Structure formats: structure tokens, C-alpha cells
Amino acid sequence: MAKSPRLSRLVERALAARTAGQLRVFGESATAGNTRFANNGVTTTGDTQKLSLSVTSLQGQRAATVSGTASSREEVLDLVRQAESLAAIAPVNPEQVPLLGAQRYGRVRGRDPATARIDAGRRVELLRPAVERARDAGLVGAGFVAHEDVELLLANSSGMVAKHRKTRISLSLTSRSVDGTGSSYGAAASHAVERIGVASLADKVARRATLSRAPRRAQAGRRTVVLEPLAVAELLSFLVNSMDRRRAEEGRSYFAAGAGTSRVGERLFASSVTLRSAPADRADPGMPFDWEGSPRTERTWVKDGVLVDLPTTRFWAKKQGVPAVPSPSTLHMSGGSGTAEDLLKEVDDGVLVTRFWYNRTLDRSRIQVTGLTRDGTFEIKNGAITRPINNFRYNDSPVSLLTRVVAMGAPERVATRGGMVMVVPPLVVEEFNFASRSDAV
């Protein structure tokens, strides 16, 4: 998709149509495609184009947003009229802040030309190694590849203009044994297709699926675990979503210290743990601004186990007299070297977890989470995988996870459902709490 002058014109028209208060307009122009395979054969494929606007009218402390797939002048004007009409009768929001003025943004190279050129034929070629590997191994393979080429434009009536172009490709693979007792899953995501190793991922998924057949019965309890990066990312997403300065200072989160203060400056995790955001990272870029237009820059949240910073909304920053800190679009975690399979060689007695599934919050104040292991859970004895075992329900926390880390592998980009760019390592963690057995495959 070439850069779209049409999107700029639509956003400019919307801003010019303002008749009251302030106006913020978010425009998105995108082409996307996907192909799915199941039972070792391609089943569906499709390509789409989208051009959409989201218009927010702010009138004092009242605001309303209307979104649509506007493409003509009349449709744009209609969106603005609707937003302004609704804002005029919206409830008063005492925490409404004015729109940002002009901002400066760092350069983020988020668009890969080769990924932007992918078509249906290229998608089939990408999936071919996965289909063939599952078939040759006597497994039932399924998978999904999706890509997009996107232009984003955020502008407002106070002079703020933020632009970003990005591509994204994601791949997920599942293989199951014919008898239905074994399963494995793998996923990858990047802004660049050349960074998606389809053949190596398909080989790993097929090997794990074969190995996971006919799992043996194992007891729940606290165990040493080796977590694949996807499992680590699924737990860390709960930690990231809990990081907020206001909730901490109001005493509503794990990061609260009481008396209107947070735990910023405290050592909360193992000294090996560092968490940072780097939207301009060349290998794994993120968004350079948030949805208000606040610039996102490289920022460290946890340094050597010490909590350094928390995201802070513009309203809370103004009230407390501190700088606003946008929520992150990327999360990079410190690591070491090697894969999960390398790490388990140093484990005498433990469990290898491929991923977690159906994860839910149990206690928000302690960031306590529950969920199930899935798609390959294995017993480790004397540095080797000895047998597949049943899945478990776990009750644990990413906080305690990061305090009981004993080893880290090499960080890698993982595909998460929330869309955040997460680059995290496999981990060895002691005393992970498996609450009960699960019969899920």
C-alpha cells in the first residue's frame, strides 16, 4: 500500500468541519490478508482494505467519539456532526483534559516493504513447510498466517499531528496426533516477513506434538518450571496492565506503598530482571505515540529488580504535578543465552510448559492469575524431558514469577493477543504453583 494522500485529506476535512469545542481525529488506512489451513490443507484465504475515521469532539468537560468507514466528504461531515451533537449532551467528565498541542516524535522504522507486498500466493508458499512437516510426521496440522500494511494518522484542532506506518505478520501453528492425545503449538510475529522462521517453527511444533502423545498422570503442587517465551509473555501481560501510577498512589494495586505513595524505587523482583520499552528498536519496533498523541520514548520500568517508573495518565500527572508517562507499546525483558531446551538441561526435577491458556485475574491487588497449561507439558528429570504429563491449572502471579527466577534464556519476539510487542526470554522459575490437574489436551 503506497502512502495514502486520501487519508490525509479525510482527516483535514474532518478538522475543517469543526463547529464547536475541540476535535481529535484518528484515521487508519490498511490492507490486510490471511490464509488458514487445517487437516493438512489450505481451507480459506482472504484480502481486505479498510479506510476508517474515529472523531472525538471535546466541549469543555464533555466528550463523545463516533467512528465509521467514512470515505466521502459527506460521510466525514456526518461523523463530525454526530460527534459534536453527542458531546453537547454527554455527561460532564471532571477528569477531561484538553487536547495536546504540537509534539515531536522519534523516528520509528516500522514498515517492511517485503511484508507489504505479500499476496495470497506468497502466503501459501509461507505455509507450505508447515503443512508438509505435519503431514510427513503423521500429524494433523492447522495454522493461520495474517499480515497487514497500515498507515495511521492522528491529528487535532490544537495543532498536534502524529503519523506512523507499519507492517505486521503473524503465524500460528498447531499439530495434533491422530489419536487426539498429543498437541503442540507455536507462534511468531514481526513487522518483517524475513524474521518469521516457518520451517524451524513447524519442525519444533511437530517434534513436540509427537513427544506429547499419551501423557502420563502427574501430581499438582509447587514445581520448578521451564517456561517457553510465549508462556512468560502471557503472564507478563497481566503485570503490564497493572502498572499505573494513579492506582498505586490511591492504594489500589500491588505497587501501592500507602499514604498516597507508590513503590517506585523499591526492589520488587530478582536482581536479574530488567523491563524496558523501546518503540524505536530496529528489530522489534512499536508505536511512537499513544492514542492521545503523547510521544512514546525509550523507557525503563524495572532496572535490576528495582521498580523505576509507572505509566501516568495526563490527568493524574497534572493533579500530582509530575510528568505524564504514556503506557508502553513494547516490552523488552533482560535475558541470557539459549532456548528453553537449553535451560532444562540444568534442571534436575521440573516441568516444561509450552504455553498458558484461558488466563484470568483472580486478585487484581496482588496480580494473582489463574489459567491452564496447554499444547505440550513435559516432565523434566536430570536435565532431560522424560515423558509427557497431564496439563495443570495454575494459581500464581507474574510478581512472584519474577522474584523466583533462577535462569534466563535468550529473549525472543512472541505473538501476543493484545498486540503489544513483547520480547522476552524463556525462564526457569522455582516453586511455581500448579493448583490441580487438567484433562485438557
CATH number at residue 47: 3.30.2290.10
The half-sphere exposure of 308 on its side-chain side, counting CA atoms within 13 A, is 13
Based on the domain organization, do 250 and 205 belong to the same domain? no
Based on the domain organization, do 13 and 40 belong to the same domain? yes
Based on the domain organization, do 204 and 306 belong to the same domain? no
Collapsing DSSP states into helix, strand and coil, what is residue 283? Answer: coil
Q: Which of 176, 191, 209 is the endpoint of a domain?
A: 209
Based on the domain organization, do 137 and 245 belong to the same domain? no
What is the per-residue burial (b if ≥16 Cβ within 10 Å, else e) of 112-146?
A: beebbebeeebbeebbebbbebbbebebbbbbbbb
At residue 108, φ and ψ (nearest 5 deg) are -120, 120
The C-alpha cell that represents 139 in the structure block: 500429524
Question: What is the spatial distance between Cα 167 and Cα 148, in angstroms, rounded to a whole number?
Answer: 6
From first to last of its 441 residues, the chain has per-residue pLDDT tens of: 445 679 999 999 999 999 999 999 999 999 999 999 999 999 999 999 999 999 999 999 999 999 998 888 899 999 999 999 999 999 999 999 999 999 999 999 999 999 999 999 999 999 999 999 999 999 999 999 999 999 999 999 999 999 999 999 999 999 999 999 999 999 999 999 999 999 999 999 999 999 999 999 999 999 999 999 999 999 999 999 999 999 999 999 999 999 999 999 999 999 999 999 999 999 999 999 999 999 999 999 999 999 999 999 999 999 999 999 999 999 999 999 999 999 999 999 999 999 999 999 999 999 999 999 999 999 999 999 999 999 999 999 999 899 999 999 999 999 887 779 999 999 999 999 999 999 888
Based on the domain organization, do 200 and 291 belong to the same domain? no
pLDDT of residue 344: 98
**Are 151 and 157 a contacting pair, CB within 8 Å?**
no
The half-sphere exposure of 114 on its side-chain side, counting CA atoms within 13 A, is 10
Question: What is the spatial distance between Cα 189 and Cα 17, in angstroms, rounded to a whole number?
Answer: 39
Strands (E), 241-283: 256-258, 261-262, 275-277
Based on the domain organization, do 141 and 281 belong to the same domain? no
What is the per-residue burial (b if ≥16 Cβ within 10 Å, else e) of 228-245?
A: bbbbbbbbbbbbbebbbb
pLDDT of residue 3: 57
Based on the domain organization, do 248 and 197 belong to the same domain? no
Q: How many domains does the chain have?
A: 2
**Are 65 and 83 a contacting pair, CB within 8 Å?**
yes
**Are 322 and 311 a contacting pair, CB within 8 Å?**
no
The C-alpha cell that represents 311 in the structure block: 505509566
Radius of gyration of the chain (CA): 24
pLDDT of residue 181: 96
pLDDT of residue 1: 45
Question: What is the spatial distance between Cα 113 and Cα 100, in angstroms, rounded to a whole number?
Answer: 32
Collapsing DSSP states into helix, strand and coil, what is residue 75? Answer: helix
Nearest to 145 by CA among 186, 108, 183, 105: 186
What is the per-residue burial (b if ≥16 Cβ within 10 Å, else e) of 368-382?
A: bbbbbbbbbbbbbee
Domain with 16, as residue range(s), is 5-209
Q: Provide the residue type at 7 as one letter.
A: L
pLDDT of residue 2: 45
Based on the domain organization, do 196 and 255 belong to the same domain? no
Task: Return the sign of the alpha-carbon dihedral for residues 355, 357, 360, 363.
Answer: negative
Q: Which of 209, 240, 256 is the endpoint of a domain?
A: 209
Q: Which of 209, 224, 252 is the endpoint of a domain?
A: 209
pLDDT of residue 123: 97
Based on the domain organization, do 164 and 268 belong to the same domain? no
Q: To which residue does cell 513447510 refer?
A: 129
Based on the domain organization, do 183 and 231 belong to the same domain? no
**Are 129 and 198 a contacting pair, CB within 8 Å?**
yes
Based on the domain organization, do 102 and 233 belong to the same domain? no
For residue 85, what are the contacts with CB-CB under 8 A and spacing of at least 6? Answer: none
pLDDT of residue 131: 96
Based on the domain organization, do 288 and 181 belong to the same domain? no
Q: Provide the residue type at 129 as one letter.
A: P
pTM: 0.95
